[in-house]
Structure 1
Amino acid sequence: MAHRKILVLDGHPAATSLSRHLTESYAETARSAEHEVALRHLSDLTFDMDFEHSHYRDAKPLEPDLQDIMDQLVWADHFVLVTPLWWGGLPAKLKALFDRAFLPGLAFDTRKTNWMGMPAPLLSGRTAQLIVTADTPGWFQRFAYQSAVQRATHRQILRFVGMRPRRSLWFSGASQANERQVSGWRRKVERAALAVA
């Protein structure tokens, strides 16, 4: 089995959550399979959430926590994002992390474009997996909302910067989940960690 360098990010802004539990299960299982794992919790990160500019010129410097995340993304060859679904999208602090840190020169290169005018991605050669906890049933998310959060995250964030998304995991009924459901979700997360090679 090829050993991977994995960045696992708990994208829930609270210090205790189902997302944190699943993130830690993923990281523990990946470490047991002898992968190198960096585990980060959004709740531990301190940064200004407001980008504040209408352009990328003179963007404010990254705070140490954001710079660490970018350094770990450069180090990693697989990125795992565990997040709740809030109002059809990512939590505000998680979205702010991408707004602030995925900048030209760090995540993409506006000086090099393809035939469609799209900037060159700077995080190519990496895979990624999205794991979502939600109250919206998976079938309803697919048919009524056309898997909007997965499509936006995969296509307009991960692929945009060069990462190749793997199949996402969707766990619904999260607010009222019982111990049996959570155990089942944890087993799926652990299988995903073992299948990363």
Structure 2
Amino acid sequence: MSSQKILILSGHPGETSLSKSLCQAYMDAAEAQGHDVRFHDLSQMSFDMDYGHAGYGNTKPLEPVLDVFLGDVEWANHIVVATPLWWGGIPAKLKGLFDRALLPGRTFDTRNTSFMGLPKPMLKGKTARVLLTSDTPSVLLRLFYGNAIKKILSRQVLGFVGITPTKFASFAPATDAAEAKVKVWLDQAARLGAKAA
């Protein structure tokens, strides 16, 4: 297996979290297999989450931490995002990161559109893995909610800018999970990291 360039984002806004532990397990295993890994921790990133009154023709300047993150997105060929499921979506700060960093001109081209009027994605050739923690088991996410969070992340966020396919690994129920269960999940994340999958 050839070496991969992997960007890992711990998308939980708290300093300690299961999401961060899963990222660490994935990263350790990936690096042990010789993959080149860059890690970003949302809890340590300071930026204005609000896109504000700026438009696509007048974008708010990126804070240095966002510029580095976007550069690493462009550098990577595989992107790993760990996030909790909160109120059916992702944490506000993670949404703010996507709002601010996935910019026209660098991640999609509004001047070059498809026959459906969609901007041309500029990050093609990259794949993604989402490590999703929740209290809702995967089967209920599918039966009751139509996998809405997975569709949003895979189609409307990552897929919109050309990152495809996006594969998911779900870890639930996460709140108060037993230590033995967490160990199983960390081992699962490590196996994915070793394969850069």
- Return 5+ residue gaps in structure 2 as ranges: none
Q: Secondary structure at the match of 2:55?
A: coil
The Cα shift of 1:25 comes to 0.7
Aligned to 1:167: 167
In structure 2, what is the Cα distance between the partners aligned to 1:165 and 1:130? 11
User: Does 2:120 align with 1:124?
Assistant: no
Which digits, 9 at most, give the CA deviation of each residue in 1:132-186, with x for residues without a partner? Answer: 0001111110110011101100000111000113420011111110111101111
Q: Percent identity?
A: 46
The Cα shift of 1:196 comes to 2.2
Letter aligned with residue 8 of structure 2: V
Aligned to 1:75: 75
Tell me if the contact between 2:13 and 2:43 (Cα under 8 Å) persists in the aligned partners. yes
In structure 2, what is the Cα distance between the partners aligned to 1:99 and 1:57? 15
Relative to structure 2, which stretch is displaced further, 24-33 or 46-55? 46-55
The Cα shift of 1:54 comes to 6.3
Which digits, 9 at most, give the CA deviation of each residue in 1:13-47, with x for residues without a partner? Answer: 01111111111111111000100000110011110
User: Does 2:80 align with 1:85?
Assistant: no
User: Does 2:39 align with 1:39?
Assistant: yes
Q: Secondary structure at the match of 1:110?
A: strand
Matches within 5 A, 1:1-197: 1-53=1-53, 55-196=55-196
Q: Secondary structure at the match of 1:168?
A: strand
Q: Secondary structure at the match of 1:194?
A: helix
Q: Secondary structure at the match of 1:156?
A: helix
In structure 2, what is the Cα distance between the partners aligned to 1:98 and 1:55? 15
In structure 2, what is the Cα distance between the partners aligned to 1:135 and 1:191? 23
Q: Secondary structure at the match of 1:167?
A: strand
Q: Secondary structure at the match of 2:82?
A: strand
RCO higher in structure (CA 8 A, sep ≥6): 2
Q: Secondary structure at the match of 1:87?
A: coil
TM-score (normalised: structure 1) = 0.97
Letter aligned with residue 46 of structure 2: T
Which digits, 9 at most, give the CA deviation of each residue in 1:49-90, with x for residues without a partner? Answer: 111126322111000011011000111000000000010001
Letter aligned with residue 138 of structure 1: S
Number of corresponding residues = 197
Q: Secondary structure at the match of 1:130?
A: strand
TM-score (normalised: structure 2) = 0.97
